[in-house]
Amino acid sequence: MKTVDYEPRHRWDKRLGLPSGTVERIVHGSESWHKAMAGQITVEAYWDNIASQLNLSPYDIQALAADFYAGDRLDTTLIDEIKQLKQAGHAVALLSNASTALMDELKALQIAHLFDPLVISAYIGVTKPERAAYEAVLERLQRPADETIFIDDMPANIIGAAQVGINALQYHNGMSLKKTLAPLLKIE
């Protein structure tokens, strides 16, 4: 998922009389978010904390949670390329810094099966770019680092993977996995 429309988030800033981007910084930048991603608190405790920080009622926090992700879209081109890689016999793993809610979301989108292994930080108790996060994926893949390719949009995560010895590439919107990986995977 990627956020393509930030307006639903900005409407909450306006509604709460906050500078633009404040709600997003709290929802995805607070200590409780980092704890939820590391599996230290539940998703429910995380949203309770956000409600407290923004002084929202239980009803309002449910509305915010729904609205916050209303501008997110599945990148179907990327998903199609992942399907092609799997069909060609390549292992495709997912390492995500996310709360436990991601597993339900991937299942609802009917794409969880595309990733084996599917490693979510909240379940392993460590987040990218910590070395142990990459090591968890390598262990599940049963592959050495130098035979693994890691793609991420965050420079810090690319550096973290490279420090473990993984071939790391930075993703950017519109990037073709097939073209980028062709020379590395010997794809025609």
DSSP states of the chain as a string?
-EE---HHHHHHHHHHT--TTHHHHHHHHSHHHHHHHTTSS-HHHHHHHHHHHHT--HHHHHHHHHHHTTTEE--HHHHHHHHHHHHTT----EEE---THHHHHHHHTT-GGG-SSEEEHHHHT--TTSHHHHHHHHHHHT--GGG-EEEES-HHHHHHHHHTT-EEEE--TT--HHHHHHHHHT--
Q: Give the pLDDT score at 174.
A: 83
Task: Convert the pLDDT of each residue in 142-182 to its tens digit.
Answer: 999 999 999 999 999 999 999 999 999 999 888 888 888 88
Question: Residue 119: which domain range?
Answer: 74-185
Last residue of a domain, one of 23, 53, 72: 72
Share of the chain above pLDDT 70, in %: 98
Q: Count the domains in the chain.
A: 2
Whether residues 43 and 115 share a domain: the answer is no
- The arithmetic mean of pLDDT across residues 123-137, rounded, is 97
Task: Convert the pLDDT of each residue in 78-101 to its tens digit.
Answer: 999 999 999 989 999 999 999 999
Q: Give the pLDDT score at 165.
A: 97
Residue 186 has pLDDT above 80, yes or no: no
Q: Give the pLDDT score at 182.
A: 84
What's the whole-number average pLDDT of the chain? 93
Whether residues 87 and 162 share a domain: the answer is yes
